[in-house]
Chains A and B, each alone.
Chain A
Amino acid sequence: MSSDLATPAPATSRAESVSSTLSSVIELLENEQNLKKQIRESVEPIEDLSRAAITELNKLHSAPFAQHAQICENAIQTIIKTQPLWINVASLIPQGEFYRYQFALGPAMRNLTTSLVLARFILHDELTPAFTVANLIGVQHTGTEALQLSAEDYLQGVIGAVNELPRLSINAVTSQNFALPVKIAAFVNDIFASYSLLNLRNDALRRKFDSLKYDVKRCEDVLYDLTLRGLAPAPQ
């Protein structure tokens, strides 16, 4: 592109230079779009596994309590299988450009967080911290250093798990498991208290947080029904 066109070039040559400039930019745009597509496709097998984990965890609502641990172990094992797949995803992302493609990865990370947090709550009665989630998913391992589980994704994923708990509480009562609702109510309360410590903006996370208080209420309602009928186990 010559810069000394102060004397107007003939119209045709000008149009040609405009054309070639635009063509090369559009080609760049197309390359970028292809990369985006590739990255989206690389996440698909991860999403398949993520759905498999969710399907497994759905059994919690109907299976006898004795099987809960096994169901959760199965779900966690399924999630661990995503580890090598993330290496593939990471290899597609140009250095330092993780956040450019996060839109394609965030949803999968949130869903995996949800499943892990739910399974590990049933198993250990604990909120799995972000670094453990990242570790189990296989983010920040050798080959996946480029990937990150952002605070935003983690915090949204946790709420996703909590959203599942009121239902589980109700279904536990149906199958005459009266200990689980107590455990759930305490957990949901702790989570709610923890999220209240955050200064949230008016964004997606904030709206998710707003849904928490309904979960707290539904879990406490179940507890109330049990206590009223003398069904709640005595606190240790």
Chain B
Amino acid sequence: MPVRDNDACSPTRRKTPHNSTQIVTETSGATTMSGTDTDIEMPESSTSGMSRRQHLAETFESYRAELDSDNERREKLIILSRSITQLSKKLIFHLHRGATSLGPAKEKTLQEGRKKEREIWVNFGKVRDELRVGRVGAGAGDGDEKDERAGREAFWRWNRQVSPGLEEYIEGLSFLWYLEHGTLIPLEEVQRTLSDESGEPLVVVTPEDYILGMSDLTGELMRYATNALSTGDHETPLAVCEFVRTVKAHFDGISPQMLYKLSKKQEETQRSLEKIEKVCYALRLRLIEFADRPEILAQMAKRALEDAADKDSGGGGRGEE
């Protein structure tokens, strides 16, 4: 890893802004900073002793070193992102298993959920460390502040490798939050949770990441609502329905040019919402009809749920109600 520091002296450019001047003068010596074309021949003339091919080979070796270290980092981040995705899915499954239980059992589920969330958090710490490691140009004294800026720069560079895991994590975290608080987790809270002990973000959560995560949350809530129904819980489906409806309504206002990925997810949200609405419809009618006989209500609810599931798997084959 420390090898990368040497790359800073390669003639390839790339360096963090703060010490760029130093590097430019080091490597391009003869090229004037003014950039006028009068002495642009200088860098080549200094190497006249070598054949062009030899000279190029040297230059390209530094490009190769740079591409190789980039690839290495990319691989590591993809692996971390994948394991974050896996852990987040496990968190979501865990929450589904215990979400509809009551009292202390639910409490325990949520506590374990928090524990799992912290395990994922550790992985984000590894992502942060990976982004900070030997950032080219950090050669001189790796002050914390430099690390910070280098990490920030690297974060944006490698955002595409990190964001799939991040989205899944946000989905899990927001589901956990919903079960704890019955509300939508604010973006600031997501960022706070993804920060280290001193409040520095491990990774930056963008509005895009957040919105896409919330879009996925609606699918989880649909599942949660139907599960709750089968245990005779009538409040949850109605509350979830209202919640998902609000989320969808807001997201409908976002133009596809602004966030293309969302427009696809909105179709999924629409389907989830329709399912919940049907469940609520049946639920409301039965609530009125059998208000005084809870055991029948539970049974009815179960049937409504099975209906919804049938239609889901039927793939449009059977249209009869």
Contact = CB atoms under 8 A, between A and B. Distances in A.
Interface of A: 1, 3, 5-6, 8-9, 11, 14-15, 17-19, 21-26, 28-30, 32-33, 73, 76-77, 80, 83, 95-100, 102, 120, 124-127, 129-132, 134-136, 138-142, 145-146, 148-152, 154-155, 190-191, 193-195, 197-201
A130 B35 contact: no
Contacts of A131: 11-13, 24, 27-28, 31
B181 interface: yes
B43 A145 contact: no
11 contacts: A3-B181, A14-B243, A17-B184, A25-B207, A32-B208, A98-B153, A131-B24, A141-B33, A190-B53, A199-B67, A201-B71
B11 A33 contact: no
Interface size classification for chain B: 35 or more
Interface in B120-175: 149, 152-153, 156-157, 159
Contacts of A77: 37
B184 A151 contact: no
Contacts, number: 186
Contacts of A73: 37
Nearest to B26: A131
Chain A interface helix/strand/loop/mixed: helix
B291 to A, nearest CB: 19
A9 B184 CA distance: 13
A17 B250 CA distance: 13
B63 A28 contact: no
Given A29-B208, A130-B13, A22 B246 contact: yes
B52 A96 contact: no
Contacts of B149: 95-96
Given A18-B247, A120-B40, A193 B53 contact: yes
Given A5-B182, A29-B254, A80-B35, 17 more contacts: A3-B181, A11-B242, A15-B242, A24-B186, A24-B187, A25-B207, A29-B211, A96-B156, A98-B153, A126-B52, A127-B52, A135-B31, A135-B33, A136-B40, A148-B14, A199-B64, A201-B71
